[in-house]
Amino acid sequence: MTRALRRRHRAATLALALALPPAVAVALLSRPPEPRSPEPLAAALREPAAPHDGRSVGLDTRGQPVVPDALVYWSPGESDPESLAAGSVFLGSLPAEAQRSYAVPGVGAGRVVVYSLAWQRIVRSVQVPAEGRP
């Protein structure tokens, strides 16, 4: 290499050597003390803001820890809260730091299920009664 390129190369290496290890150390030291597992996050997800507002349900993740790649499904009828029923309908993604409404098909009872694609499991499940019922 030319001398000018070697100087740039040395400057780049020195910058990396000075900046990168502290940045990685900060990232590693900032990790939560316990593994981020679905259970505490599931509990932290708020109840639907409007559990049965017409035929839509609301979910609010503002101020809550992030559930990675959360997807919202509607399982019609009475279903097992621990599994995603075969006839479930995909309602949309659930972003972090947002309040979202999801249109629910039909008027019958059902279950809103929040599923984390990253964790490959259900993190929240709320039963919604049929329209017109308390």
Partner 1 sequence: MSHTYVAVQWNRQKRVYDACLATGLALYLSLFVGLGALENPGATAETLAIRGLGTAALLLLHVILCIGPLCRLSPAFLPLLYNRRHLGVTMFALALAHAGFALFQFHALGDVHPLVSVLTANTRFASVPQFPFEAFGMVALAILFVMAATSHDFWLANLTAPVWKTLHMGVYVAYAALVLHVALGVLQDETSPLLAGALAAGLATVLGLHLAAAQREAPTDRERPAVDDGWVDVCAVAEIPEKRARIATVAGERVAVFRYDGLLSAVSNVCQHQNGPLGEGRVLKGCITCPWHGYQYDPATGASPAPFTERVPTFNLRVRAGRVEVHCRPNPPGTRVAPLKLEAELVRPG
Question: Quick check: 103 binds partner 1 (CB under 8 A)?
Answer: no
Please report how close the Cβ of residue 106 comes to partner 1 at its closest, in angstroms: 20
3-class SS string, the chain: CCHHHHHHHHHHHHHHHHHHHHHHHHHHHCCCCCCCCHHHHHHHCCCCCCCCECCEEEEECCCCCCCCCEEEEEEECCCCCCCCCCCCEEEEEECCCCEEEEECCCCCCEEEEEEECCCCEEEEEEEECCCCCC
Question: Quick check: 35 binds partner 1 (CB under 8 A)?
Answer: yes
Name residues contacting partner 1, limited to 53-92 (CB under 8 A): 65-66, 68-69, 71, 90, 92
Question: Quick check: 49 binds partner 1 (CB under 8 A)?
Answer: no
Distance of alpha carbon 36 from the chain centroid: 12
Looking at the Cβ atoms of 28 and 86, the one nearer to partner 1 is 28
Looking at the Cβ atoms of 24 and 107, the one nearer to partner 1 is 24
Question: Quick check: 6 binds partner 1 (CB under 8 A)?
Answer: yes
Residue ranges that bind partner 1, judged by CB under 8 A? 1-6, 8-10, 12-13, 15-17, 19-21, 23-24, 26-28, 30-32, 35-36, 65-66, 68-69, 71, 90, 92-93, 95-97, 117-118, 120
